[in-house]
Structure 1
């Protein structure tokens, strides 16, 4: 979650609108001076400064907490991870809110301003456009509706108790008492934190759903490609899922024709087939390109523009484990954030009863009560992103009076939003909605220019006045997902787990399960639309006709796939297809992950079982760090057969001889191969995509010397290209591109391998010529980055992770960034490896998504479970728990995870008692 699902969002761009650089520099200078004072030289010399100390949480002694019915104990281990003990649900969640606010309130406050479209209140005019877009989406509006009309009374009580705990912590505190960031912000802004509300917590689920929304970017990209590529070429770039090669999650079962429900043991009926109808709108280049740019400006909460969002999770039956009980592993792949997306915690009722129902531990989101991923006394569960297609873009015919629908003009549903701006005047926007959702085009000057020609064949060609772009999205309908969080926390068996999953509507996740009785299971939940006319959801469609829309009701929960104790004895979910589309009647999506990671996990587990060797907790942990590159195994034998005359390139080609395709941090072969892979993609595909989809970024050029390296269109030698924000449609190097290349790999003369002459570079006529050019280009690219001596090359020097503090750690002078940010770390792993330290071939080699946490749950013997976080428990930049888990995380280590009363007592180093006044 989540994955595919929080501490802070990605760093927010705090620059003001209108190019007011002088004011921005002055503001940053003040912040730098403040941080210099509180951090000291090397940010360690002035730890006693009151501004820093004031924001640190009290972790020993006692504090009176208004509203408690009894005392609550907060026990922290030597990593600052809290375990809370209470006697009522209300006390438990009130304490959770208090403790999370102690460690993470700045992050919580920024997040709630983002989800409600109120960043401008904190950071000024530079956030008005972002706020306008988020107000148009209406996350906060839908969250309020959920709270008012959908959520159960127990859920609302828990949310209120949590909010009360947060507010008890805030009471009487100034900004400097909350965090260093507030101290800095207070010198340039009169912003004061307001009280927390239950809806602040619910709104975060909408933010999660946005980043895990599925194939919206692919939908845009396919439409942009129509301006330059044929349908066949687009099909080449979006191949069908390889079901025969990479197994789906569920390999048995079907919808029973008698009961109408999914039955894991049923045989599929004949003639189901797949839904392959094309979308009906093409030629919308301007508006869709502008929408893609707009999406890039929205701060990514879980990953860069929703790309690469994935996760691993697998469970093995006790029949095949050394413990005799199931083992369950999970590691969601999300954007690297500081502090981490996750907050580790235990929530324990001293005695489980009707008045105190929880004894659970795991990974929580700061700002939301309950545990998201983890276990209770009976079951364990993990999440990965299902990737269901839950969004569609609709082109609307509009006028001042409304929008066209089946030949009639229908009035817009409109509302006015006021955006308050720190240090400036408030702005007002009008949000207009059609039956297909809000008009995203109202937030973009380019999107307002939709079409100049009359529509043809139900299409709305480029730049026609009187058209707009609307978003239809399942998350914009109020639901019960917050109920599901508490229900999963209380579940005792697979039946109650599935009942809870039925309420987990957005974001749609793969839910993995194990229990102390030895059962394992899987459930695909979510509100997934049923499209009309066999539409496959891969391209935008016309909104002015009822022919292209959604059925009133989504796919019924009882018809969604699940498994329970499958014969093979294990279940793997890693964002691959859920079930073969030829055996399942409903469309879940056409844009799965392509299964490279999932199949690697399947193969390694199956191989272990075939040998009769039992799988241990250590084996599960080791598998999480598997660095194998599936595409290297396909390409390297062919690369080694190519005759290379250039001695410098031949030297690097030799690095691949005897390489085992593992991408360790110290591997020179991994560095060179990934450089070759990146250049293969750029030569074969990147330069052939429409101009709207080209990657942008500055390069440093020098005049070329014969044989010295790649040149650009003007014949200048490209010596160094900076990290750039990649365009989503450019080849990112993920497993979709594995499939694209493998499908044409044995066709030496395929048109994709052909490249016309450019500058001083000769034309390329076949695969081996392109591979030879890619090897040469990679040699000189990596020489510029790593030096001439290939014996000093390593993948980790290219593939680095830097953790950036949200907001103030992204921009500004070096002192500011050094004070708040941490790193870099040289990492192994890579794109589509099990150890998925993701990078994007369109933008460089730096790490842009990571296993945001890792856990291995030893079901039944809970204290032998293990876990790790990307950073640490604290969001305070100078706390010893800010990044105290990161080194171990980078090395693949896990911490002991205490759960039982005895285990927690044995690992406790600090105890705080929250007392009833």
Structure 2
């Protein structure tokens, strides 16, 4: 018995020591938020106050010291995220994750971001303030990399530490820019529909821009394997450990429409959710400069920011800056392709991709005059049908570092406007408001006109010499509105009005959010910050209730079950809200899915239908196609000799939807709450491993909102009826220039990417509930509510 007790005691002691060791290890990784630290390269003492949400407020004697400190504290909270971000564009994820990341690396290695970044760095003025400050930030990151705590993820994955460089910054911006593009998801799919079914089947898609009913107003005073491209690129972006950008809202209310006669600015960029989230907040203050900014991991200047003088933010323009060209091989010489002036040689380069769990992979990349050939970079493409990708980002001088520096250091509205013009890709709606009561909407991007008769929504002809004849437009002709006489500007990724009679092609989102925003802004003239807080959390659709009432006219009333009758009554009373307790959006989205499936899947097939569900163009065309009795899509091509009608398809879809909901959620329709099916979990890259999921992921939460409402917590439709939110507001920011020190924001989870930090998920509940916290600018308030980390120059 004594021996047994000793054995049991020994086991318990061993377990205790293991648990204690794990706890000590876990705690040892926490960031340092107070005390003192010496940094090499600082010219003077710099103070960093971390407020109650972990936001650093950096007070320095000059910008160079401030940026050095920013790099250091940014790295201690987000070094793992920085490591992932810099590895995507050059194709270096396989070094960490092995062959499962190889497809991602092959694609991004081939499209030229890394080479473009190297050229951009070579062209930089090394004496410019933008370069000097960027290098100071890099120095701070690298000092933490060398001397700071190693993230848990580095230990688990086995990351070999390497110094960060300014080229890494450019690669991060490059991946961000590519993730904006929708052409890679859309053009190949539309081309296959055209070639297989004919243009009549595309009439409902509004490729001429006719579906964009709410437009932004400017103010001056044969079938190939194309769908493989869409499938492969979509999969790469969705499986990426770093989230792509997807949409956004922003509006700026002029002084004439606010209660306190000062501008109110609002912005919520929509990005796929991840843990940690996209943005890192930091406030810098030094003589002659102050900015409260939102930073991408590994970058020195904020993409969103404000101070006491002005505020800026962004949404995606969604213009078309990426095209695919069908090339034609020489019939006898595989090294050549056809052009309008004869055959030309493919340019060829090779790259080595290091793979953690196998031998290195040698990648051969062929390029034409249009760009890199996708065959060999993406799965499923036949080598006999080479398709090249033409992307504005890699075809013109890259001045993105100069641009983001300029936006955060603008002297006035005119200066800010000119700095936007430095961004040739991606296309952005850049929003502006200032303390002098100026407001503005300015689009970035190198826009171009296509030859008449050439539709960039399809794979273009690479050999005819016509499809690639683009006419680039001067930046001055980009859509914009500066101080319009209707006293507000807004953007929800919707299409701008024509400029000089030309409707800019793109992959714009439907009018839903734009119409709701415009209806609210136009009818009220005494806005306060609290009103905007409610508006940015609004989840009402002006479109869905009318649409579903139209569908209800197709439902035959004979033989309805009691549940079906109750469902129709609920939909009849629906005002378009998407609260967690609402039932109507659960019914609507199930009905929507079955209508889409019964209408489109017979022609597209299961795989292409799944791709179709992920495109913007689907969202654009539902409202028009679903009420068009003459659409060719209604006929089920699998039922020979029978021609189905709109009424039949919509009616059948309703009954199938109700049966599916009864099976999924039970027969009592009052239990079909939106929050039961619309949920959010913030996934860490390592959270995909089941054993690590509880440690690294944040959530799951029942959430309000939905697709194409202002609170755009978006999801992909699925037959199982579980709408797992993939993306949404990456922050919600409101700056009121009548009380700028009490401006507010929120992050989806928290500031820190370090699991043992108290700021890893301390905003998650607030975010779900639509609450805000202060973006502090007042130094006395900051000092009274913060911990202090003093950074001192390291003695030689």
> Normalising by the residue count of structure 2, what TM-score does the alignment of the two structures yield?
0.91
Deviation per residue, 1:251-275 (Å, 9 max, x gap): 44xxxxxxxxxxx12xxxxxxxxxx
Deviations 1:451-496 (A, max 9, x none): xxxxxxxxxxxxxx3x411111011133111111111111131111
Task: Pick from 666, 670, 692 the counterpart of residue 585 of structure 2.
Answer: 670
1:437 aligned counterpart, secondary structure: coil
2:714 to 838, 853, 877: 838
3-state SS in 1 of match to 2:301: coil
Is the counterpart of residue 327 in structure 1 residue 264 in structure 2? yes
**Counterparts of 1:505 and 1:747 in 2: how far apart (Å)?**
39
Correspondence for 2:155: 183
Maintained 8 Å contact 1:73/1:85: yes
Aligned to 1:723: none
Question: What is the aligned counterpart of 1:431 among 365, 368, 375?
Answer: 365
Does structure 2 conserve the Cα–Cα contact (< 8 Å) formed by 1:208 and 1:301? no
Q: Separation in 1 of the partners of 2:241 and 2:486?
A: 33
Superposition deviation, residue 243 in structure 1: 7.5
| Contact 1:318–1:325, Cα closer than 8 Å, also in 2 | yes
Matched, 1:374 2:305: yes
Query: Can you give the 5+ residue segments of structure 2 that lack an aligned partner in the other structure?
Result: 1-14
C-alpha distance in structure 2 between counterparts of 1:531 and 1:330, whole Å: 32
Alignment equivalent of 1:164, drawn from 131, 135, 139:
139
8 Å CA contact 1:139–1:203 kept in 2: the answer is yes
Cα offset for 1:679? 1.6
Native 8 Å contact 1:523 1:561 kept in 2: yes
Q: Is the CA contact (8 Å cut-off) linking 1:51 and 1:180 kept in structure 2? A: no
Distance 1:448 1:659, change over 3 A: closer
Residue 688 of structure 1 corresponds to: 603
* Deviation at residue 216 of structure 1 after TM alignment: 3.0
Match of 1:269 in 2: none
Aligned to 1:616: 528
Residue 855 in structure 1 maps to residue 733 in structure 2: yes
1:637 aligns with 2:549: yes
Q: Which moved more, 1:391-400 or 1:660-669?
A: 391-400
Query: Aligned pair in 2 of structure 1 residues 434, 748: CA closer, same or farther (>3 Å)?
Result: closer
8 Å contact from structure 1 (residues 753, 767) kept in 2: yes
Q: Secondary structure at the match of 2:440?
A: strand
What is the distance in 2 between the residues matched to 1:860 and 1:145? 44
Q: Give the match for residue 318 of structure 2.
A: 387
- Deviation sequence 1:265-297 (CA, Å, 0-9, x none): 2xxxxxxxxxxxxxxxxx2422x1222232133
C-alpha deviation, 1:430, in angstroms: 1.7
Tell me what 1:874 maps to.
Answer: 752
Change (3 A) 1:674 1:180: same
Q: Distance in 2 between matches of 1:431 and 1:689?
A: 31
- Residue 303 of structure 1 contacts residue 309 of structure 1 at CA under 8 Å; is this kept in 2? no
Provide the C-alpha distance between the structure 1 equivalents of 2:253 and 2:618, rounded to a whole number of angstroms. 30
User: For residue 473 of structure 1, what is the aligned residue in structure 2?
Assistant: 391
Residue 510 of structure 1 corresponds to which residue in structure 2? 429
Q: Which residue of 2 aligns with 1:250?
A: 217
Distance verdict in 2 for CA 1:182–1:321, change over 3 Å: same
Matching residue of 1:595: 511
Distance 1:239 1:125, change over 3 A: closer
Query: Within 2, Cα distance between the matches of 1:744 and 1:419?
Result: 46
Q: In the alignment, does 2:421 pair up with 1:421?
A: no
Q: CA deviation at 1:497?
A: 0.5
Residues 395-445 of structure 1, C-alpha deviation per residue, up to 9 Å, x if partnerless? 112343332222423222222211122243222112221110111112246
8 Å CA contact 2:44, 2:65 repeated in 1? yes
- Tell me if the contact between 1:205 and 1:507 (Cα under 8 Å) persists in the aligned partners: no
Correspondence for 1:717: none
Where 1:145 maps in the other structure, the secondary structure is helix
Q: Which residue pairs with 1:277 in the alignment?
A: none
Within 2, Cα distance between the matches of 1:137 and 1:244? Answer: 32
> CA distance change for structure 1 residues 767 and 536 in 2, over 3 Å: closer, same or farther?
closer
Indicate how the Cα distance of structure 1 residues 368 and 118 shifts in structure 2: closer, same or farther if over 3 A, else same.
same
Q: CA deviation at 1:773?
A: 1.9
**Structure-2 separation of matches of 1:484 and 1:780:** 54
Which ranges of 4 or more aligned residues in structure 1 deviate by more than 6 Å?
301-306, 756-759
3-state DSSP of counterpart to 1:156:
helix
Question: Counterpart in 1 of 2:656?
Answer: 777
Distance 1:731 1:172 in 2: 44
Query: Cα–Cα, structure 1 residues 678 and 47, in superposed 2: closer, same or farther, change >3 Å?
Result: farther
Partner of 2:783: 905
Give a deviation string over 1:213-264, Cα, whole Å, max 9, x none.
2433221111011243220211213354358841x22244xxxxxxxxxxx1
The answer for the alignment partner of 2:773 in structure 1 is 895
Once the 2 structures are TM-superposed, how far is the Cα of residue 794 of structure 1 from its aligned partner?
Answer: 0.6
Deviations 1:279-327 (A, max 9, x none): xxxx2422x1222232133234999996x92100000011111221100
> 2 CA distance for matches of 1:301 and 1:73?
40
Tell me by how many angstroms 1:860 deviates.
Answer: 5.3
Distance in 2 between residues matched to 1:542 and 1:690, nearest whole Å: 26
Note if contact 1:555-1:586 (Cα within 8 Å) is conserved in structure 2. no
Shift of 1:883: 1.3
User: Structure 1 residues 767 and 45 mapped into 2: Cα distance closer, same or farther (>3 Å)?
Assistant: farther
Report the CA distance between 1:654 and its aligned residue: 2.8
Q: Is the 8 A contact 1:644 1:772 kept in 2?
A: no
Q: Which residue of 1 aligns with 2:381?
A: 447
Alignment equivalent of 2:164, drawn from 196, 214, 233: 196
Mapped contact 1:379–1:492 kept (Cα < 8 A) = no
Give per-residue Cα distances to partners, 1:492-543, cap 9 Å, x unaligned: 3111111211112221100111111111111112122443455331111121
Task: Provide closer, same or farther for how the CA distance between residues 860 and 485 of structure 1 changes in structure 2, counting only shifts above 3 A.
Answer: farther
SS state at 2:285 partner: strand
Counterpart residue number, 2:560: 646
Offset at residue 544 of structure 1 (A): 2.1
Specify every segment of 5 or more residues in structure 1 that has no aligned partner in the other structure, as ranges. Answer: 1-39, 253-263, 266-282, 353-357, 450-464, 696-726
Structure 2 matches for 1:5-24, cutoff 5 A? none
Q: Distance in 1 between matches of 2:164 and 2:663?
A: 51
Q: Return closer, same or farther for 1:55/1:447 CA change in 2, 3 Å cut-off.
A: same
Secondary structure of the 1:871 match is: coil
CA, structure 1 residues 628+764, in 2 after alignment: closer, same or farther (shift >3 Å)? farther
SS in 1 for 2:387: strand
Equivalent residue runs for 1:33-112 within 5 Å = 49-112=23-86
What is the CA–CA distance in structure 2 between the aligned matches of 1:751 and 1:130, rounded to whole Å?
38
Match of 2:188 among 196, 203, 220: 220
Superposition deviation, residue 880 in structure 1: 1.9
Alpha-carbon distance between aligned partners in 2 of 1:634 and 1:738, rounded to the nearest angstrom: 16
1:716-731 → structure 2 map (5 Å cutoff): 727=611, 729-730=612-613
Distance 2:216 2:479 in 1: 9
User: Separation in 1 of the partners of 2:133 and 2:443?
Assistant: 26
Q: Structure 2 CA distance, aligned partners of 1:338 and 1:598? A: 29
Q: In 2, are the aligned partners of 1:228 and 1:690 still within 8 Å (CA)? A: no
Tell me what 2:230 maps to. 292
Three-state SS of the structure 2 residue aligned to 1:362 is strand
Q: For 1:414, what is the secondary structure of its paired residue?
A: strand
Q: Could you say what the CA RMSD is over the residues aligned between the two structures, in angstroms?
A: 2.7
Give the SS at the match of 1:840: coil
Cα gap change, 1:670 to 1:303, in 2 (>3 Å): farther
Partner residue of 1:121 out of 86, 95, 98 = 95
Provide the residue aligned with 1:558 in structure 2. 476
Q: How much has 1:379 moved relative to structure 2?
A: 1.0
Give the equivalent residue in structure 1 for 2:414: 495
Alpha-carbon distance in structure 2 between the residues aligned to 1:593 and 1:769 = 29
Structure 2: distance between partners of 1:744 and 1:198: 48
Contact 1:730 1:842 (8 Å CA) reproduced: no
Count of paired positions:
770
2: CA distance, partners of 1:45 / 1:115: 39
Tell me what 1:793 maps to. Answer: 672
> Matches of 2:243 and 2:66 in 1, distance apart?
36
